[in-house]
């Protein structure tokens, strides 16, 4: 299918259509340590990677609900494909907030270009005329072999190389593939193995000023206004909701894939006493609880996104207490999802851990995804508690 011919409302259907292909290549992706080219191309052709991309650069500028619903379908078939889709597919949101010169460099000749990350501020940037000299090494650059650009976190340093305070000196730096390299030989991980989240290494790269974004401008809306996106409801969405919410949504989608795999595996399974697992009351109870919890988490997730999306569409301010509440709910949903899938694994028997059983792959992927910093619950609970008691949030608290 030709990407330019895809109607926005068919993207989710396209993802469902390629689902069997994602499933077919899931184990091979684990063995390769990255998504096979066939899967990357299928994701491109489905249109899912351009849902958050601006219309003037070949994207759909879709609603966040379209984005999260499509992402949910990917995770039901392949955890690694969901992780790449989420992490790489959310980056067009930030690109749309960047200097127009950078947007033209990335998408001007090919709107299908993918941008990798990570945002962790491991880089060090020394100011020079017209830009920065940038160095660093970052783990977890998801999907990087299929990307032509990356956006990396870093801190501005003084002449002696000492970084300034995080709150004022952290920046996002955009680099073309010619300015960095990755280390696939060091990629050894128990879950999300097929996501190709290799280390990225940058050595003395010059980054022009216009390829640098201050995260504070993203959070405040200044970047959207400067890029001429202030009238777009999508780009009025809070960045933390779009990025961290994508991590949560991808993790929840993998949990759904785990539940589906458990049902498929258990349907014809018998115990050593020749009892049908599908009629065992303990298995049925665990399955019902897991299904209810996952459904509840997804419904709550989408309801919360809808609340924020309504405000963004109206051009109204999105209060911090709502953002904190939504992030609290998201990380809690992830914790509940992990708990109920663990309970299913406890009932699944030793054969569930066979490497040819998809259930164990989803289980491993789920635990790995749940360990992402955006899914760590305690800082979000801390933020909610502080706001509930009327205290200010401490600088640098991660939402």
pLDDT in tens, 53-86: 999 999 999 999 999 999 999 999 999 999 999 9
Which stretches of the chain are DSSP H helices?
11-24, 26-32, 37-46, 64-75, 79-89, 91-95, 100-107, 166-169, 215-220, 222-226, 239-266, 281-314, 320-347, 358-370, 378-388
- Band (pLDDT 50/70/90 cuts) for residue 1 is very low
Burial of residue 395, with CB atoms counted within 10 A of its CB: 0-12 exposed, 13-18 middle, 19 or more buried? exposed
Taking the model in full, what pTM does it have?
0.95
What value does the mean pLDDT take over residues 338-361? 95
Pick the CATH number of 3-107 from 3.30.930.10, 3.40.50.40, 1.10.540.10, 3.40.640.10: 1.10.540.10
pLDDT of residue 2: 35
Burial of residue 211, with CB atoms counted within 10 A of its CB: 0-12 exposed, 13-18 middle, 19 or more buried? buried
Q: Which residues pair with 137 in a beta bridge?
A: 201
pLDDT of residue 9: 63
**Spatial distance between the Cα atoms of 127 and 205, rounded to a whole number of angstroms:** 12
Class of domain 115-213: mainly beta
Residues carrying CATH 2.40.110.10, the chain: 115-213
> What is the separation of C-alpha 277 from the centre of its chain, rounded to a whole number of angstroms?
35
109-137 per-position pLDDT tens digit: 999 999 999 999 999 999 999 999 999 99
Residues carrying CATH 1.10.540.10, the chain: 3-107
pLDDT of residue 361: 98
pLDDT of residue 4: 41
The domain made up of 237-388 has a fold known as Butyryl-CoA Dehydrogenase, subunit A; domain 3 (1.20.140)
Q: Residue with structure tokens 């635990």?
A: 367
- Cα dihedral value 236, 134, 396, 183, nearest 10: 90
What b/e string do you get for 356-380 counting C-beta neighbours within 10 Å, with b at 16 or more? ebbbbbbbbbbbbbbebebbeeebb
The answer to whether the beta carbons of residues 137 and 201 sit under 8 Å apart is yes
């Amino acid at each position: 299918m030709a990407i330019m011919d895809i109607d926005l409302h068919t993207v989710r259907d396209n993802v469902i259509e390629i689902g069997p292909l994602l499933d077919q290549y899931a184990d091979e992706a684990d063995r390769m340590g990255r998504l096979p080219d066939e899967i990357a191309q299928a994701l491109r052709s489905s249109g899912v990677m351009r849902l958050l991309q601006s219309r003037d650069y070949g994207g759909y500028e879709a609603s966040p609900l379209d984005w999260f619903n499509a992402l949910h379908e990917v995770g039901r078939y392949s955890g690694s494909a969901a992780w790449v889709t989420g992490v790489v597919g959310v980056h067009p949101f930030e690109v749309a907030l960047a200097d127009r010169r950078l947007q033209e460099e990335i998408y001007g000749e090919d709107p299908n270009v993918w941008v990798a990350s990570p945002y962790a501020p491991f880089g060090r940037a020394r100011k020079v005329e017209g830009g920065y000299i940038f160095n660093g090494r970052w783990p977890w650059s998801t999907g990087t072999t299929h990307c032509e650009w990356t956006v990396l976190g870093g801190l501005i340093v003084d002449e002696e190389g000492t970084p300034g305070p995080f709150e004022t000196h952290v920046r996002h730096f955009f680099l073309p593939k010619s300015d960095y390299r990755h280390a696939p030989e060091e990629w050894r991980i128990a879950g999300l193995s097929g996501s190709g989240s290799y280390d990225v290494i940058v050595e003395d790269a010059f980054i022009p000023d216009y390829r640098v974004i201050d995260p504070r401008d993203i959070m405040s809306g200044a970047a959207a206004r400067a890029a001429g996106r202030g009238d777009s409801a999508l780009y009025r969405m809070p960045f933390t909701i779009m990025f961290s919410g994508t991590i949560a949504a991808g993790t929840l989608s993998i949990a759904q894939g785990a539940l589906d795999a458990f049902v498929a595996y258990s349907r014809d399974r018998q115990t050593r006493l020749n009892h049908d697992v599908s009629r065992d009351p303990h298995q049925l109870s665990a399955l019902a609880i897991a299904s209810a919890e996952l459904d509840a988490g997804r419904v709550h997730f989408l309801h919360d996104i809808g609340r924020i999306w309504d405000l963004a569409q109206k051009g109204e301010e999105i209060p911090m207490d709502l953002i904190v509440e939504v992030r609290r709910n998201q990380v809690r949903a992830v914790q509940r999802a992990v708990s109920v899938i663990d309970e299913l694994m406890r009932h699944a028997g030793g054969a569930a851990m066979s490497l040819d059983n998809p259930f164990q792959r989803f289980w491993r992927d789920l635990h790995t995804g749940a360990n992402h910093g955006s899914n760590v619950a305690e800082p979000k609970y801390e933020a909610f508690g502080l706001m509930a008691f009327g205290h200010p949030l401490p600088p640098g608290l991660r939402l």
